[in-house]
Structure 1
Amino acid sequence: MSERIRLARSHYIDEITDKLAGSEVKLAGWVRKKMELGGLTFIILRDSTGVIQVVFREDRIGKEKMKEARKLSMESSVIVSGKVKLDKRAPNGLEIEAEDLKVVGYAEEFPIKPGVGKKFLFDNRHLHIRGRKTQAFLRIRSELIKAFEEWYNSHGFTRVEAPTFVGTAVEGGATLFEVDYFGKKAYLTQSSQFYLEAMIFSFDNVYTIQPSFRAEKSRTKRHLTEFWHLEAEMAWADLNSMMDIVENSLKYAVEKVCERAADQLSILKRKFEPPSGRFPRITYDEAIEIAKRKGVRIEWGEDLGAEAERAISLEFDLPVFVTHYPKTAKAFYHKIYQEDPRKVVCADLLAPEGIGEIVGGGQRIDDLNELLTRIKEENLDPESYKWYIDLRRYGTVPHAGFGLGIERTARWISGADSVRDVVPFPRTPTRINP
């Protein structure tokens, strides 16, 4: 484990163990709870790593410091010095006998109280993120991103970045955020895919983790207008190799989250086992039959909606790949499936427990004429995609890629009710503050 930076403290709370009994420590944090009992003042002190009980006695810290201790309120910030003491009555069986107290900032009455509604919590998200459960969700998210970075960095991928302001739509449709860019029409990116495709000709295999933007007016538990996107593109790859990469990296990331964030999963009372065994791979046609059998009204050629994805994902204990969608349901850049030209060579990964799609990807069109044909079929202007088309003019190669939603994946692992729970400051059609 790399060395921590310990500003204003000698230890973090999670470093306080029975081995330190009798030792002097200095902690910095916030008051979660305060109690008065028999002339003593107790606080539950929290920092970013955990909680510990601190006891204040006048004969140890003096009259003036004791007055300050008694004035402490929830979320007051303090620096406490004292000795570690074993005490079975204390949380975790340990407490700090305070010998000095420095109040950094007294807190006014804290507005987050038991029983307040979801809207109030998100209106006060800047304070709500201090809560134990919210911190657990966000810690799981952090560990998920960290684990994905580890896997891709150790498997020959180069991390790259793509612009947020773009002049060409990737997904198109009504989900574009249009912005004025010095008098020109531009958009907030829906995906970094096109730029990653350009970079495979330099680096072979590339990935990025950055925000994407969709102007969807959906108010579901699956959608955000700004979400974090793990995207990767691979030169010389086909659909099967792409699915292998998705499966292997996801298994690694989930395993590491369960290992490193076990305490957070426990706080959330989430019993979650990393998936083992090969992920099932079914065709769109098979998926449609499952959805229809479960009462979903859907016709061949339609994209799978939330209801259909939920029905299909509940059929499996593992994430399941759905392959070869109709071209009418997918974007123009997917390679045509030669065995049935009505379909494209693509795959979505649906997470179990009714979560639905967490990954969308496929093999990209690498032939110049095929790409031009598809652009025209979709009534798009080839001039708008000039530089993207150029990639097929100068040393084209078979390639494939995908995009994974960080929030949807974190929701699945953590058992969160909504993707809004696993992002620090969610953006939805009705929320742009705080």
Structure 2
Amino acid sequence: MSFPRKTHWTKDVKPELDGKEVVLSGWVWDIRDIGNIKFVLLRDREGMVQLTIKKGSVPDSVWSAVASLNKEDAIVVRGIVKASKIAKAGVEVFPSEVYVVAKSKPLPIDIWGTVETDLDTRLRFRSVDLKRPINSLIFRVESEVTRAIRETLYSHGFIEVFTPKIIVTSTEGGAELFAVQYFERVAYLAQSPQLYKEELTASLERIFEIAPAYRAEKHNTNYHLNEFISVDIEEAFANYTDVMEVLEDVIVNVYGKVAEAFNDEFSKYGIEVKVPKKPFRKITYDEALGILERRGLKVNWGEDVPKGGMEILSEEFGEPFFIIHFPTDIRAFYTKPLESDPRISESFDLVIDGLEIASGSSRIHIKEQLIDALRKRGLNPESFESHLVIYDYGLPPHAGWGLGLYRLMMVLLRRDNIREVVLYPRDRFRLEP
């Protein structure tokens, strides 16, 4: 079938186009039939617009095509824009041509909001569920978020890289790895690009990557996944305070761009994005434990701050904040200890609305110190030989962080479950669709 190509998104059809011809394409969201007039609500990725079809004012082929329509049929329409005081958006389109390019059966789930469908069922029919306007909005926002992240990092002199996701050994020393058969040997899916990005500071200095990461952890929470998108940076000739400033700029720019582009649309869903102010509050691990104890939650020194503790701290501060100076023993082996007190590390977590969004640190850049750190954690330095070799050839002091894109989306859009901001989630129990 041949048909004209889209000239406008529905959001671009405004009263200022009165009298102009447009070509629209999308899906039938709703149909109202009042006899000799039919109203069709056309949905595309960007929104909706009303089509008005009057019998006798259109060719018979257009009238019969519209009469055959069902919800979610895919159509292409050529028509004239008319400003309207009656139509909800202040504008409607009068079609002169209608092409029905794909028919739809009745949907297996409700996308119109008349029947509540549980998340598991929605995810089972995810491609259909993604037709819901809120989902179109979520993933348009996610695209804008990644654009804002890239813009910020490029402005700081970072370049984008792509590191292997099939690796020979653990990136972070843990056991939570997915094994894959790699020809005659066993390999693993990467937990993060950590070792590669550290090595790249010896040549490319400032790098970032936005890519999948994999963790074989048997979680089943609203904020864990086994495949996720990680935003990682590493900067040469820098320490943890330098990269914390970069992270602040990333967050502020993301929130600013999203608020500017989407706050009007968000109002339909009770969402408002407020841009946080720099600098973010910084509290030490010891200070965090003291606040939590006063609030009735005892965390022993040397234990990580639990999710409930982060929620309490977020209630206390109300804004994004950093926890800094975690005990060295609970951070990854490559984390640099404070020179003044090696029990404590040059490390940080960024917490927003009770959720750890990003984690980072200064890294150990002296080979002997890194070997010692590996051995203290019961790891064999020989397993990291291909990584350790770069330490002999001028590896500079460096620092970096990793940020969970989906967790950022979750707090940005105030979603209760991380799976809502993932196209096709992969968790402990979900491997399809």
TM-score scaled to structure 1, two decimals? 0.95
For residue 29 of structure 2, the aligned residue among 20, 29, 32 is 32
* Corresponding residue of 2:369: 370
2: distance between equivalents of 1:330 and 1:380? 14
1: distance between equivalents of 2:54 and 2:188? 61
* Corresponding residue of 2:235: 234
Letter in 1 for 2:231: L
The Cα offsets for residues 94-131 of structure 1, whole Å up to 9 and x where unpaired, read as 11112221111111112221222211111111111111
Letter in 2 for 1:28: S
1: distance between equivalents of 2:264 and 2:194? 35
* Corresponding residue of 1:90: 87
2: distance between equivalents of 1:287 and 1:97? 62
Q: Spell out the pairing of 1:182-221 with structure 2 (5 A cutoff).
A: 182-221=183-222
Q: CA deviation at 1:295?
A: 2.5
* Corresponding residue of 1:310: 311
- Pair 1:358 & 2:343 matched: no
Letter in 2 for 1:141: E
Q: Indicate if the aligned counterparts of 1:136 and 1:267 stay in contact, CA closer than 8 A.
A: no
* Corresponding residue of 2:421: 422
* Corresponding residue of 2:63: 66
* Corresponding residue of 1:401: 400
Which consecutive unaligned segments of at least 5 residues does structure 2 have? none
2: distance between equivalents of 1:295 and 1:183? 55
Letter in 2 for 1:47: D
The Cα offsets for residues 14-42 of structure 1, whole Å up to 9 and x where unpaired, read as 22111111122111111111111132111
Q: Spell out the pairing of 1:291-302 with structure 2 (5 A cutoff).
A: 291-302=292-303
- Pair 1:154 & 2:155 matched: yes
Three-state SS of the structure 1 residue aligned to 2:317 is coil
Three-state SS of the structure 1 residue aligned to 2:5 is coil
Letter in 2 for 1:11: H
Aligned in 2, Cα 1:266/1:183: closer, same or farther, shift over 3 Å? farther
2: distance between equivalents of 1:119 and 1:235? 44
* Corresponding residue of 1:282: 283
2: distance between equivalents of 1:245 and 1:182? 41
Three-state SS of the structure 2 residue aligned to 1:108 is coil
* Corresponding residue of 1:3: none
Q: Root-mean-square deviation (CA), in Å? A: 1.5
Q: Indicate if the aligned counterparts of 1:166 and 1:188 stay in contact, CA closer than 8 A.
A: yes
Q: CA deviation at 1:234?
A: 0.3
Q: CA deviation at 1:264?
A: 4.0
Q: Indicate if the aligned counterparts of 1:236 and 1:397 stay in contact, CA closer than 8 A.
A: yes
Letter in 2 for 1:61: V
Q: CA deviation at 1:292?
A: 2.2
Q: Indicate if the aligned counterparts of 2:227 and 2:426 stay in contact, CA closer than 8 A.
A: yes
Three-state SS of the structure 1 residue aligned to 2:80 is strand
1: distance between equivalents of 2:409 and 2:344? 31
Letter in 2 for 1:411: M
Three-state SS of the structure 2 residue aligned to 1:100 is strand
Q: Indicate if the aligned counterparts of 1:139 and 1:261 stay in contact, CA closer than 8 A.
A: no
Q: CA deviation at 1:282?
A: 0.8
2: distance between equivalents of 1:299 and 1:160? 39
For residue 41 of structure 1, the aligned residue among 10, 32, 38 is 38
Instruction: Single out whichever of 178-187 and 119-128 deviates more from structure 2.
Output: 178-187
Q: CA deviation at 1:185?
A: 2.0
Letter in 2 for 1:123: R
Q: Indicate if the aligned counterparts of 1:52 and 1:91 stay in contact, CA closer than 8 A.
A: no
1: distance between equivalents of 2:294 and 2:223? 24
Letter in 2 for 1:41: K
Q: CA deviation at 1:177?
A: 1.2
TM-score scaled to structure 2, two decimals? 0.95
Three-state SS of the structure 2 residue aligned to 1:298 is coil
Instruction: Single out whichever of 231-240 and 410-419 deviates more from structure 2.
Output: 410-419
* Corresponding residue of 1:143: 144
Q: CA deviation at 1:7?
A: 7.4
- Pair 1:329 & 2:330 matched: yes
Letter in 2 for 1:379: G
2: distance between equivalents of 1:157 and 1:277? 21
Q: CA deviation at 1:74?
A: 1.1
Q: Indicate if the aligned counterparts of 2:263 and 2:272 stay in contact, CA closer than 8 A.
A: no
* Corresponding residue of 2:250: 249
Three-state SS of the structure 1 residue aligned to 2:391 is coil
* Corresponding residue of 1:169: 170
Which consecutive unaligned segments of at least 5 residues does structure 1 have? 1-5
Three-state SS of the structure 2 residue aligned to 1:28 is strand
Q: Indicate if the aligned counterparts of 1:139 and 1:264 stay in contact, CA closer than 8 A.
A: no
The Cα offsets for residues 33-64 of structure 1, whole Å up to 9 and x where unpaired, read as 11111321111101121100001122122334
Q: CA deviation at 1:218?
A: 1.4
Q: CA deviation at 1:329?
A: 1.3
Letter in 2 for 1:19: E
Instruction: Single out whichever of 23-32 and 256-265 deviates more from structure 2.
Output: 256-265
Runs of at least 4 residues off by over 3 Å:
none
Q: CA deviation at 1:171?
A: 2.4
* Corresponding residue of 2:387: 388
Q: CA deviation at 1:431?
A: 0.8
Q: How many residues align?
A: 427
Q: Indicate if the aligned counterparts of 2:362 and 2:400 stay in contact, CA closer than 8 A.
A: yes
Q: Indicate if the aligned counterparts of 2:173 and 2:333 stay in contact, CA closer than 8 A.
A: no
Letter in 1 for 2:412: I
* Corresponding residue of 1:433: 432
2: distance between equivalents of 1:43 and 1:111? 22
The Cα offsets for residues 270-291 of structure 1, whole Å up to 9 and x where unpaired, read as 1221101310111111111122
Q: Indicate if the aligned counterparts of 2:4 and 2:23 stay in contact, CA closer than 8 A.
A: no
Q: CA deviation at 1:91?
A: 2.4
2: distance between equivalents of 1:390 and 1:197? 12
2: distance between equivalents of 1:30 and 1:242? 45
Q: Indicate if the aligned counterparts of 1:212 and 1:227 stay in contact, CA closer than 8 A.
A: yes
2: distance between equivalents of 1:181 and 1:395? 33
